[in-house]
Chain A
Amino acid sequence: MNKALLLLPVAALLASCGSSHSGNSAGSSGNEITGAGSTFVYPVLSAWAEDYRTQAGVKVNYQSIGSGGGISQVEAGTVDFGATDQPLSPGDLAKNNLAQFPVIVGGIVPVVNIADMTPGKLKLTGPILADIYQGKVKTWNDPEIVKANPGVSLPAAQITPVHRSDGSGTTFNFTHYLSQVSPAWKSGPGEGKTVSWVGGVGGKGNEGVANYVKQIPNSIGYVEYAYVIQNKMTYALVQNAAGNYVSPSADSFSAAAASADWANAKDFDLVMTNAPGAQAYPITASTFVLLPKQPKDKAKSDAAIAFFKFALEKGQPQANKLDYVPLPDTVVKQIETYIGQNVK
């Protein structure tokens, strides 16, 4: 009897594993479209969906099951669109006959918990950030950090790095950035939605990392920009590729999106961390939407395209309100041309 009781959670877990891949079959008309994927984009996507439902009468159903799930569901054709924080390569897209474009921009911001530190006072370079997360820089008064912060008093306390315990696009973009700026990081942990961390603590979700940083003295973590604003966290500045320390803000994220070389990225396969612009925020990320190139249901595909056209052109106020950053107009134009050419 005891054994059976103990097994119930396991059985339930298995059942839930199974169902997360079966997905919902969408409704039968173009009045309802279904998507699945990235949790990062979920708040703004559901705000857009609500606006679009009142204006166009089309219901958009979005399940934020994670980028990996979104990719596998759109490949299997169980949803009308997928959303992922990590772009697929043109090769992968061609294999599954998918089109891909970015819809929104966000920033990933290092946050710290150091006594008497004010937001934006601590300055970090990319290599320092990589060294902290690799356990090479162990204390806040390490010479490397002191050199970047003349006149700032730094405690002789041990740094506790906080990372995401779940696989996430945030981690992908953060580690992608660290791989760009630190050869040791690139050959060590590397980049991915979850990597082999050296020491530190893992929090589940942005809120998990934010809470760990708030609870653990002398810790550092990385979270989406919205969490920094909403939780009034102490953020650190990161040096960008042009050598400037730029505050995380809608302007600096836009600058990064504008300076990224979208025109030459086939299928928008571009991660814009370490963007070259002088005012570009260095750890800027975007979420990508995946659409089938030859949809089974033309009406639904058209409805999905119309929805994203609406979101890209008229969704800016909602995005700004939720602390996301809309794509620059030039990129929106490129996306619309791309959709016209690629989705039949």
Chain B
Amino acid sequence: MTAYAPIERTTSRGATADRIFNVVTVGAAWLVLIVLLGAAASMAWGGRLAFQTFGLKFITSSDWDAVGGQFGALVPIYGTLVTSAIALIIAVPVSIGIALFLTEIAPRWTRGPIGIAIELLAAIPSIIYGMWGLFVFAPVMASDVEPWVNDHLGQWPIVGPLFSGPPIGIGMLTAGIVLGIMIIPFIAAVARDVFNQVPPPLKESAIALGSTRWEVLNRVSLPYARSAIIGAIFLGLGRALGETMAVTFVLGNAHDLSVSLLMPSNSIAAAIANEFTEADTDLYRSSLIALAFLLFIVTVIVLSFAKLLLMRINRTHGRTH
């Protein structure tokens, strides 16, 4: 009987705390949605003049002429997608390799230092990658890599045009590689944590069945971690799509549409950063904001595609996690 009062007090105090906690978390979740929709809406509103003036031509035209008042986003969209694709092609295998090495192969005492080194790499500001790209990497590309690429890959059928052009060291290939190096630590750090989550009994069972190390990695660790790894890759991709400073240093910032990866191009984020300060007509400013809106749309499309892909994989391979 006497024990009731304190119990009631505890429950009522707990209920208040619960409600506050509930409100806070719901608020935080809604804030994300509000920020998302608010940003999209304000960009669409800011870019309405460009969309009204050019219509669908804004996306399909490669004209970018501030004097003549003609704006088309094809070159920046193309440059953004191509550089990010190159970045992923480089970063994904390397990052997964790093993560597997760190969790499965590396001697235990090296894991800590290498892990910290990866996290430090992730903390380097992107402008440092850009400056390194321009001062160190671009000259190497111009003097050694691109002439070789020109002479060898440039002669191949079909893909040849991708790899032939003047070896100036500045262009989509250089930008893609710098971006790739930049996003490696992001993907590797998450992938390492994910591989660490693979339950030891699973791996031990595989070993007990006579699996080699490669079979354990390929058949147990990778499938177990698949969905989280794809999440990590798309985190890296998101960074690559929106990266500004590292890209603007080595991409060449030219509004030219060219097939060759050795040629300069432009990206959405770089175009906005470069041109916003002196965008002195309403149409020009509106076109840059419309570009930002398109970056948003491109990102949403890419991420939705990733989610679909993930669902597809999970359906065909069965849920593993």
Which residues of A approach B to under 8 Å, CB–CB?
1-7, 9-11, 13-14, 17, 20, 65-69, 71, 158, 160, 165-168, 189-197, 199-204, 208, 211-212, 215-217, 219
B169 proximal to A (CB < 8 A): yes
Query: A166: which B residues are within 8 A, CB to CB?
Result: 274-275, 277-278
Question: What is the CA–CA distance of A208 and B135 in the complex, to the nearest angstrom?
Answer: 11
10 sample A-B contacts, Cβ–Cβ < 8 Å, listed by A number: A6-B303, A7-B39, A68-B280, A167-B278, A168-B278, A196-B68, A202-B253, A204-B249, A217-B142, A217-B168
A-B contact count (CB 8 A): 145
A108 to nearest B CB, angstroms? Answer: 16
B223 proximal to A (CB < 8 A): no
Query: A13: which B residues are within 8 A, CB to CB?
Result: 272, 292
Question: What is the CA–CA distance of A193 and B266 in the complex, to the nearest angstrom?
Answer: 18
A167 touching B280, Cβ below 8 Å? yes
Query: A158: which B residues are within 8 A, CB to CB?
Result: 166
What sequence of 0s and 1s flags, for each residue 150-189 of chain B, a beta carbon within 8 Å of any chain A beta carbon? Answer: 0000000000000000101110000000000000000000
What sequence of 0s and 1s flags, for each residue 259-274 of chain B, a beta carbon within 8 Å of any chain A beta carbon? Answer: 0000010100110111
A306 to nearest B CB, angstroms? Answer: 29
A201 touching B303, Cβ below 8 Å? no
B192 to nearest A CB, angstroms? Answer: 18
Q: Which 5 A-B pairs have the closest CB atoms?
A: A167-B278, A165-B253, A202-B253, A196-B65, A66-B277
Q: Which of B70, B256, B300 has the most CB of A within 10 A?
A: B256
A203 touching B253, Cβ below 8 Å? yes
B56 proximal to A (CB < 8 A): no
B66 proximal to A (CB < 8 A): yes
B238 touching A2, Cβ below 8 Å? yes
**Given the contacts A5-B238, A192-B67, A201-B168, A10 and B279 also touching, CB distance less than 8 Å:** no
B154 to nearest A CB, angstroms? Answer: 15
**Given the contacts A11-B39, A195-B66, A5 and B235 also touching, CB distance less than 8 Å:** yes
A200 touching B277, Cβ below 8 Å? no
Task: Pick the residue among B170, B242, B255, B279 that contacts A197 (CB under 8 A).
Answer: B255
A200 touching B254, Cβ below 8 Å? yes
B170 touching A67, Cβ below 8 Å? no
B278 touching A2, Cβ below 8 Å? no
B254 touching A199, Cβ below 8 Å? yes
Question: What is the CA–CA distance of A13 and B166 in the complex, to the nearest angstrom?
Answer: 34
A2 touching B264, Cβ below 8 Å? no
B283 to nearest A CB, angstroms? Answer: 13
